[in-house]
Chain A
């Protein structure tokens, strides 16, 4: 083995330069031409940055579309899921609590209408999206709170929602931050 140690040492040094210095620098350089310059794409409201397009944030006030529950309270410096098994009693209890909270804040909605993504925590704790159903079910509450026409809000969801990739691959969804920014932009 001794005969191989010296070449191995040199090779290690060379490959660190190639794979860990040149490779990421090249990517970082090209990334400057990408949206967000490789720092992440931000979204603004009235000229002020209010969040990252891809990073979900906490929306719990009644006048906003809510995000999904988060096991890490939307801490974007410490992502993670609940890691609860599907039948764990404390997990099922927290789902129950979320259903109850949702029903209190959304009178007129029955529990059978609540889509499952609104009462389960995402894997990252930073899910930026909800299902289309998850947005539509909240319209009644927001319309009442903001004195808006429900139809305008349904139209807003349709305008903001993102279609499957190429129209036929994967799920339909709506980005909560984009939806709430659009909501703020509705004529008063």
Chain B
């Protein structure tokens, strides 16, 4: 067990060792400074030329939002149509069928918004064509959308009073050519040389040693698995996601994949510090987020290593930990680490089945998605955190009797209204829809939705909408979610939970950027101190506790206390 804990610690240290310098690199990319990937510049110029884009034409925040939504609208229509007709299109060696309209809607929404909830199973529900040309394409562009939205906010936070915030297409394209594509390629090759398939051959068939016939799904999976992590998307090639031994063959690839999903969210914090020359602020944000993650991590690690007391009662030694839904090559500690990182960050890929985790761990997974801003998804993590920063500035300002200011700009009623609406939208979506589903189930208990009775069944529904609103995509997969009700409601929750929390911060930052810049003085409430960091943490946790405590009580907490 000691080597397993050491593995977890090493994984976290390597993540920081890559993430911190990567942040400096990302800042250089968007400042237009020299980087090692400048050889991509001709390719970018070529892309802009044939697309008729003038990358020097700067946009204001409303134009940024319009460009972002135009792109996303097109992708949504494209994805929806492709799923509807995939069965009769080419590159379908396994002969998989087309999707129903409601499943197409759900899947298109899910991958568009970087959520990657999968109500289909990878081996049978999609074709090689839709895996590559739709799902993997959306992996890249949805991640780049998040990064680009954040960079727009970075530009707005500079000291300059302006409404010119760069060109959205330029930032977006560079996110792909300078960050996502090159790093994904490296990750994909690491996976390939450890046994992840990458060829276009279809299913294989063989006779096993015992004489059974086995069919083995394969395919060009490595590239998709790389970007699904780097882009904090999470939607995998195979049904079992990164628990599948071809998707995640050994402990090394497990480290690679869980590191890959954290490096950009961590790097973006430090990119902020470099970009604005406010390194102290970046370290404070990083500190708050890291503490937030560790506080969720500890109980989960503890519960999974301790194992399931109900099994221990029947005899077997629990020294292996809680192994239901887990793989031997990862073990309980690395699975617990992954489950927390994948939920605080909006990846939602899994290397073990969340439904079978102990109630305490399930509660921590839910909290990770309910707060949704400790590291968080590519770009959107900091955007969510930004909302809480604004609220924390306002509350602290009131507490000490100073005008609330953030980075030299006065926070006034309009910004506060937007921030509050966005902060409350997340609990509203989760709780309202969970209540609706629960109501449906009470009205008709024969509905075949739940795979588990009692409190755990309620947790399955709560988890589903939490995951959708947080754009996470992991699930308590026992939930029978490929039905019109779940596909459609979840699709809407995902779309609302994506675009409003992106537009909100861009609007706030855009409005603030046009206000007079007030240089910091001794009268300014400093936002780059430990005290203010603590204040932000308190705001985040209090909002989460007030909103979600009753729901958690009905689910994982009740399950825990029914046994203790």
A46 shortest CB reach to chain B, Å: 11
Asked if A6 is at the interface of the complex by the 8 Å CB criterion, the answer is yes
Task: For chain B, residues 374 to 424, give those with C-beta under 8 angstroms from any C-beta of chain A.
Answer: none
CA distance A5 to B257 in the complex (A): 35
Residues of B within 8 A of A173 (CB): 328-329
Asked if B185 and A117 sit within 8 Å, CB to CB, the answer is: no
Asked if A115 and B316 sit within 8 Å, CB to CB, the answer is: yes
A2 shortest CB reach to chain B, Å: 8
Residues of A within 8 A of B358 (CB): 86
The chain B residue sitting closest to A58, CB to CB, is B212
Segment touching A, from B276-284, B305-313, B512-520: B305-313
Asked if A154 is at the interface of the complex by the 8 Å CB criterion, the answer is no
CA distance A81 to B476 in the complex (A): 11
Q: Which of B189, B245, B254, B478 has the most CB of A within 10 A?
A: B245
A22 shortest CB reach to chain B, Å: 9
In-complex Cβ contact of A82 among B208, B322, B325, B562 (8 A): B325
Asked if A57 and B214 sit within 8 Å, CB to CB, the answer is: yes
Asked if A19 and B140 sit within 8 Å, CB to CB, the answer is: yes
A171 shortest CB reach to chain B, Å: 4
B210 shortest CB reach to chain A, Å: 6
Task: For chain B, residues 170 to 192, give those with C-beta under 8 angstroms from any C-beta of chain A.
Answer: 173, 176, 181, 184-185, 188-189, 192
Task: For chain B, residues 342 to 364, give those with C-beta under 8 angstroms from any C-beta of chain A.
Answer: 350-353, 355-359
Asked if A18 and B222 sit within 8 Å, CB to CB, the answer is: no
Q: A28-B220, A54-B195 are in contact. Are A123 and B325 (CB under 8 A)?
A: yes
Q: Residues of B within 8 Å of A, CB-based: how many?
A: 118
A72 shortest CB reach to chain B, Å: 9
Asked if B316 and A19 sit within 8 Å, CB to CB, the answer is: no
Asked if B223 and A14 sit within 8 Å, CB to CB, the answer is: no
Task: For chain A, residues 131 to 188, give those with C-beta under 8 angstroms from any C-beta of chain B.
Answer: 131, 133-134, 164-165, 168-173, 177, 180-181, 184
A138 shortest CB reach to chain B, Å: 14
Asked if B456 and A88 sit within 8 Å, CB to CB, the answer is: yes
Asked if A115 and B133 sit within 8 Å, CB to CB, the answer is: no
B200 shortest CB reach to chain A, Å: 6
CA distance A68 to B324 in the complex (A): 10
Residues of B within 8 A of A134 (CB): 328
The chain B residue sitting closest to A78, CB to CB, is B123
In-complex Cβ contact of B70 among A1, A95, A122 (8 A): A1
Asked if A8 and B71 sit within 8 Å, CB to CB, the answer is: yes
Q: Could you mark each residue 419-438 of chain B with 1 if its beta carbon is under 8 Å from any beta carbon of chain A, else 0?
A: 00000000000000000000
Q: A40-B204, A171-B328 are in contact. Are A124 and B214 (CB under 8 A)?
A: no
Asked if B3 and A170 sit within 8 Å, CB to CB, the answer is: yes
CA distance A116 to B432 in the complex (A): 39
Q: A8-B71, A39-B218, A165-B7 are in contact. Are A81 and B317 (CB under 8 A)?
A: no
Asked if B41 is at the interface of the complex by the 8 Å CB criterion, the answer is no
CA distance A11 to B358 in the complex (A): 46
Residues of B within 8 A of A15 (CB): 137, 140-141, 176
In-complex Cβ contact of B325 among A18, A21, A81, A95 (8 A): A81
Residues of A within 8 A of B350 (CB): 123
Asked if B216 is at the interface of the complex by the 8 Å CB criterion, the answer is yes
Q: A4-B66, A83-B355, A120-B311 are in contact. Are A64 and B222 (CB under 8 A)?
A: no
CA distance A133 to B319 in the complex (A): 10
In-complex Cβ contact of A19 among B176, B199, B331 (8 A): B176
Give 9 closest A-B pairs by Cβ, nearest first. Answer: A111-B315, A123-B243, A83-B478, A85-B456, A79-B240, A31-B198, A170-B251, A38-B198, A81-B353
